[in-house]
Amino acid sequence: MEIALPNQLNLGLLILRLCLGLFLAYHGYNKVFGAGGLAGTSGWFASMGMKWPKWQARLAASTEIGAGLMLAVGLLTPLAAAGVIGIMVVAIYTAHGKVGFFIFKPNQGWEYCATILLGALAVGTIGAGDWSLDNAIDFSVPGWNSLVITALLGIGGGILQMLISYRPVKAS
């Protein structure tokens, strides 16, 4: 049984979904069409130790664009949120975690990525709200299942991605 949410909660979820989703989609767009394009992104991934950097660049960009847009419109929200979480898990572990917490540190710390991750986890847990495509197509995941799906697929997907393709460059 679905319970109608108050308009304030629907508005808050819409704002959060739009912010997280569109910002991440634009980040993915920049990986493809920004100054360095996919070649620059794949070079950066290679320098970090990602195997198959050209494919990694495409995978990261398409996940950011796809999951970001899905989150923004509230479509299959637990899966969209899991995609966002997976990207952030990889970003924190491979690039930002070793820098420290604060984003203003050189090479950027992990606070911003963690904020995106936790925002996506919150939306994935609560659901997209009444003002979403999930509501329009009558898609919902009951109870705590949404949190479990979002967290397991997101964190598990990020870890699996690193196990398969991350080989850190050894300092000489």
What single string gives the DSSP state of each residue in 19-41? HHHHHHHHHHHHHHHSSSHHHHH
Residue 156 belongs to some domain of the structure: yes
Contact between 109 and 100 (Cβ < 8 Å):
yes
Give residue-wise pLDDT tens across range 112-168: 999 999 999 999 999 999 999 999 999 999 889 999 999 999 999 999 999 999 998
Residue 170 belongs to some domain of the structure: no
Range(s) of the domain holding residue 106? 7-165
Residue 2 belongs to some domain of the structure: no
Phi-psi label, residue 75: left if phi above 0, alpha if psi -120 to 50, beta otherwise: beta
Residue 1 belongs to some domain of the structure: no
Give residue-wise pLDDT tens across range 24-54: 999 999 999 999 999 999 999 999 999 999 9
Domains contained in the chain, number: 1
Residue 69 belongs to some domain of the structure: yes
